[in-house]
């Protein structure tokens, strides 16, 4: 199964979760997600998501100059971002348990026949 | 440390990504790619990082993840491309003209005239507004003048790029300019025509005022005059002149007018004719004017010599005599014989 498609729907909540404890810059967030097991996550997808969450008011941002090299743009979660994270966490939990129930072969209910079906 | 080796490719990659986002506003691109070099540089040092791939695909991924529309649709692209090529050609053309000294001077001259166009544009927009309302103000009222000034101010401010400078306004301004450039000759023609017409109309008005009516009183035509003496008896054969010695003719063109037709308050038509007793001209200033039966006028508008001449009948047989002593004029001086007209002295030149 192509996990990149699955990832698209949950990238927001994944990025919010990745910076909920500690602010991070673009590649930093990518690395956190990869180390958490999301190997297929694309750099640009993460950067774009950070940018969009910032536009939506869920993140704060600040620039930190790095020694000799180009500056880094850090992102941090704010109140609104935390509320968003909580709401999406609940949504994910419901969704995941529904999917688990659906996919669990042992507990799968027998299909009900309709009248007239042979 | 491989940074020094990776650096050029990082720069190139970042540049390629920015190029792929070039259709977005500059600040948007800046927001999206701020810190890109730092991330790419760090990534280049990361041995576990997967292949970075194509910069265009990277830009597309960045764009869609940021919730922005994909790069402009092909149709919009054609439009944008033609606009770009037009701009390129324009710039090249300007450069060509600028390359010669004479062309450069001419261009500078035209550029100096730009404010004239701004004011003209305001005026043209104002005129166009009247055109849509279907009328033209040759003598505008204060509100219309205020509107004209307002439009000119807006036009000049737009020209100076002080007002309406939003990006989306630019095509509207350009389109409006083209429309007005096309319409200005027509608007000019229309304005000149209207001014000419109104001037002509007023000349015509005064001309017709002079020509059409002979004697009027309170805006209504005076068809006949009845004079009474101090004793209140009607007079006949009274010759009237104005303060300049001009005969007070009942018609404006006495020598070419054979009769005057009027309808009295009771709706009866009366056709009066001039007295024939004045030597050398029709006696249109000899009152009361005699009349002919309306039916005697021929189809060609003339009165046959055989027509019955009826003496003017005054509306009153007599009027009240004047009070007090009368001036030296003898009371029996006027005669009731129309043919015995005394020669006026001095004889007026008309």
How large is the average pLDDT for residues A11-16?
Answer: 92
A87-101, B140-154, B331-345: least confidently modelled range: B331-345
How large is the average pLDDT for residues B108-112?
Answer: 89
Residue B187 confidence (pLDDT) above 60: yes
In this structure, is residue B267 part of a structural domain? yes
Question: H helices within chain A, ranges in order?
Answer: 3-18, 26-35, 43-55, 79-103
CA distance A83 to B313: 109
- B317 and B233 housed in the same domain: yes
A36 touches chain B (CB under 8 A): no
- B225 and B300 housed in the same domain: yes
Q: Which residues of B9-19 are buried (b: 16+ CB within 10 A; e: fewer)?
A: ebeebbeebbe
Report which of residues A116 and B349 the model is more confident about: A116
pLDDT tens by residue, B84-96: 788 888 888 888 8
CB-facing half-sphere around the CA of B142: CA atoms within 13 A: 0
How large is the average pLDDT for residues B214-233?
Answer: 85
| CATH number among 3.30.70.260, 2.40.128.30, 3.30.420.40, 1.10.10.10, domain A3-103 | 1.10.10.10
Instruction: Write down the mean pLDDT value for chain B.
Output: 78
Label residue B72 by pLDDT band (50, 70, 90): low
User: Are the CB atoms for A70 and B35 separated by under 8 Å?
Assistant: yes
The residue whose two tokens read 């307002």 is B150
Last residue of a domain, one of B71, B92, B123: B71
Within 10 angstroms of residue B188's Cβ, the number of other Cβ atoms is 14
Residue B54 confidence (pLDDT) above 90: no
What pLDDT is recorded for position A14?
Answer: 93
How large is the average pLDDT for residues B211-239?
Answer: 82
How large is the average pLDDT for residues B310-323?
Answer: 86
CA distance B120 to B137: 16
In this structure, is residue B229 part of a structural domain? yes
Residue B4 confidence (pLDDT) above 50: no
Q: Look at residues A69, A88, A68, A89 and name the one whose alpha carbon lies nearest to residue A27.
A: A69
Tokens of B319: 């009027």
Residue B3 confidence (pLDDT) above 60: no
User: Are the CB atoms for B235 and B227 separated by under 8 Å?
Assistant: yes
Report which of residues A9 and B204 the model is more confident about: A9
Residue in A27, A44, A73 closest to B62 by CB: A44
Residue A18 confidence (pLDDT) above 70: yes
Q: Look at residues A97, A87, A85 and name the one whose alpha carbon lies nearest to residue A18.
A: A85
Label residue B338 by pLDDT band (50, 70, 90): very low
User: Are the CB atoms for B137 and B193 separated by under 8 Å?
Assistant: no
Q: What is the CA radius of gyration of chain B?
A: 45
Label residue B134 by pLDDT band (50, 70, 90): low
Residue B40 confidence (pLDDT) above 80: yes
- B238 and B199 housed in the same domain: no
In B, which residues are within 8 Å of A47 by CB distance?
Answer: 32, 36, 39, 62, 65-66
What pLDDT is recorded for position A33?
Answer: 92
pLDDT tens by residue, A42-61: 888 999 999 999 988 999 99
What pLDDT is recorded for position A71?
Answer: 80
Q: Tell me the percentage of chain A whose pLDDT exceeds 70.
A: 86
Q: Which residues of B213-223 are buried (b: 16+ CB within 10 A; e: fewer)?
A: ebbeeeeeebb
- Among B39, B41, B43, B49, which would you mutate to test the A interface (most chain A Cβ atoms within 10 Å of its Cβ)? B39
User: Are the CB atoms for B226 and B288 separated by under 8 Å?
Assistant: yes
Label residue A107 by pLDDT band (50, 70, 90): low
B15 touches chain A (CB under 8 A): no
- B138 and B190 housed in the same domain: yes
User: Are the CB atoms for B241 and B248 separated by under 8 Å?
Assistant: yes
What pLDDT is recorded for position A40?
Answer: 83
In this structure, is residue B194 part of a structural domain? yes
Tokens of B92: 């090249």
User: Are the CB atoms for B238 and B227 separated by under 8 Å?
Assistant: yes
Label residue A13 by pLDDT band (50, 70, 90): very high
Contact B3 A47 (CB under 8 A): no
In this structure, is residue B332 part of a structural domain? no
- B127 and B196 housed in the same domain: yes
Residue B243 is part of which domain span? 218-324
ipTM of the complex: 0.79
In A, which residues are within 8 Å of B65 by CB distance?
Answer: 11, 44-49, 51-52
Residue A63 β-bridge partners: A73
Name the burial class of residue B224, with classes exposed (0-12), middle (13-18) and buried (19+) by CB atoms within 10 angstroms of its CB.
buried
B177 to chain A, minimum CA–CA distance in Å? 37
Tokens of A12: 């927001």
What pLDDT is recorded for position A92?
Answer: 93
Label residue A89 by pLDDT band (50, 70, 90): very high
- B49 and B128 housed in the same domain: no
Label residue B209 by pLDDT band (50, 70, 90): very low
B55 to chain A, minimum CA–CA distance in Å? 10
- B237 and B283 housed in the same domain: yes
Contact A48 B38 (CB under 8 A): no
Count of structural domains, chain B: 3
Strand pairing of B220-221 and B216-217? antiparallel
What pLDDT is recorded for position B206?
Answer: 52
CA distance B36 to A30: 13
Instruction: Write down the mean pLDDT value for chain A.
Output: 85
Q: Look at residues A15, A13, A8 and name the one whose alpha carbon lies nearest to residue A30.
A: A15
- B230 and B289 housed in the same domain: yes
- B228 and B318 housed in the same domain: yes
B43 touches chain A (CB under 8 A): yes
A77-81, A90-94, B164-168, B210-214: least confidently modelled range: B210-214
What pLDDT is recorded for position A108?
Answer: 57
CA distance B207 to A113: 103
A32-41, B14-23, B44-53, B285-294: least confidently modelled range: B44-53
CB-facing half-sphere around the CA of B233: CA atoms within 13 A: 9
């Amino acid at each position: 199964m192509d996990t990149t498609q699955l990832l698209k729907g949950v990238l927001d909540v994944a990025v919010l979760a990745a910076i909920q404890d500690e602010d991070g810059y673009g590649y930093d967030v990518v690395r956190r997600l990869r180390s958490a097991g999301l190997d297929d996550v694309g750099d640009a997808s993460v950067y774009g998501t950070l940018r969009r969450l910032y536009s939506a008011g869920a993140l704060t941002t600040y620039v930190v100059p790095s020694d000799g090299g180009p500056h880094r743009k850090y992102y941090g979660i704010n109140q609104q971002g935390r509320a968003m994270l909580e709401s999406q966490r609940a949504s994910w939990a419901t969704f995941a348990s529904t999917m688990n129930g659906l996919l669990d072969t042992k507990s799968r209910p027998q299909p009900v026949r309709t009248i007239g079906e042979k | 440390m491989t940074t020094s080796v990776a650096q050029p490719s990082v720069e190139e990659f970042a540049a390629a990504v920015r190029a792929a986002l070039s259709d977005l506003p500059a600040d948007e691109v800046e927001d999206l790619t701020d810190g890109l070099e730092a991330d790419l540089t760090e990534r280049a040092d990361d041995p576990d990082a997967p292949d970075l791939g194509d910069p265009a695909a990277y830009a597309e991924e960045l764009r869609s993840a940021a919730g922005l529309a994909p790069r402009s649709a092909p149709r919009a692209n054609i439009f944008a491309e033609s606009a770009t090529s037009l701009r390129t050609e324009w710039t090249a053309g300007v450069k060509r003209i600028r390359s010669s000294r004479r062309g450069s001077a001419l261009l500078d001259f035209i550029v100096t005239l730009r404010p004239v166009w701004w004011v003209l544009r305001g005026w043209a927009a104002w005129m166009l507004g009247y055109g849509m309302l279907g009328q033209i103000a040759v003598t505008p009222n204060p509100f219309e003048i205020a509107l004209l000034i307002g439009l000119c101010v807006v036009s000049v401010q737009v020209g100076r790029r002080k007002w309406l400078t939003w990006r989306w306004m630019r095509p509207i301004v350009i389109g409006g300019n083209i429309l007005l450039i096309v319409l200005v000759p027509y608007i000019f023609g229309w304005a000149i025509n209207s001014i000419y017409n109104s001037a002509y109309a007023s000349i015509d008005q005064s001309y017709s005022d002079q020509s059409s009516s002979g004697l009027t009183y309170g805006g209504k035509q005076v068809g006949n005059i009845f004079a009474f003496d101090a004793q209140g008896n009607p007079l006949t054969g009274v010759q009237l002149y104005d303060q300049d010695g001009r005969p007070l003719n009942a018609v404006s063109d006495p020598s070419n007018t054979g009769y005057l037709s009027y309808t009295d308050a009771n709706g009866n038509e009366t056709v009066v004719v001039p007295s024939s007793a004045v030597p050398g001209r029709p006696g249109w200033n000899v009152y009361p004017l005699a009349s002919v039966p309306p039916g005697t006028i021929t189809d060609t508008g003339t009165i046959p010599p055989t027509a019955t001449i009826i003496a003017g009948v005054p509306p009153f047989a007599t009027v009240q005599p004047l009070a007090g002593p009368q001036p030296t004029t003898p009371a029996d001086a006027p005669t009731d014989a129309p043919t015995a007209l005394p020669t006026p002295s001095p004889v007026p030149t008309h």
